[in-house]
Amino acid sequence: MNRPSAGATRLVYSTELGRICPDCRAPVAECRCKALAAARPQGDGRVRISRETQRRGGKVVTVVRGLPLDEAALAALGKRLRSACGAGGTARDGVLEIQGEHLQRVASLLADEGWKAQVIAPMPGRSG
Ligand SMILES: [Zn+2]
């Protein structure tokens, strides 16, 4: 029987690490998310939430801009927001999109996470 030697380079997803941070996927003991959150720029990043309409089909999306987060952290935050809103969406180029109108909800969720976000209220246009 020729058994290929189990390579030393094989990655092992150890359960010994315990809980893994869902945001950075590092063991919780090594998680830097909170440190990063604490160190985030205060006056620098101005977070804005707005409601926008996509051209295609005129779908309404809630857009969050100005989050001073790297891609992974932005994606993780977007995931939490989408999950809380029960909606789909995207996170790219520093912009979060959540399908549907969730301005107040997103503002509240961001506030819970320590973000001071400004809601850009749409013009109160009433159809008809
Ligand atoms: Zn983390």
Residue 39: its pLDDT value, please? 61
Q: Is the pTM of this model over 0.85?
A: no
Distance of CA 15 from the midpoint of ligand 1 (Å)? 17
pLDDT digits (tens, 9 = 90+) for 6-36: 444 555 455 555 788 888 888 888 888 877 7
Is pLDDT of 75 > 70? yes
Distance of CA 73 from the midpoint of ligand 1 (Å)? 8
Is pLDDT of 64 > 80? yes
Percentage of residues of the chain with pLDDT beyond 70 = 73
Is pLDDT of 43 > 50? no
Return residues with CB closer than 5 A to ligand 1 (ion).
21, 23-24, 31, 33
CB 76 within 8 A of CB 23: yes
Distance of CA 66 from the midpoint of ligand 1 (Å)? 21
Q: Collapse the DSSP code of 36 into the 3-class scheme (helix H, G, I; strand E, B; otherwise coil) and give the result.
A: helix
CA–CA distance from 40 to each of 26, 46, 54, 84, 102 (Å)?
A: 19, 11, 31, 23, 25
Distance of CA 25 from the midpoint of ligand 1 (Å)? 6
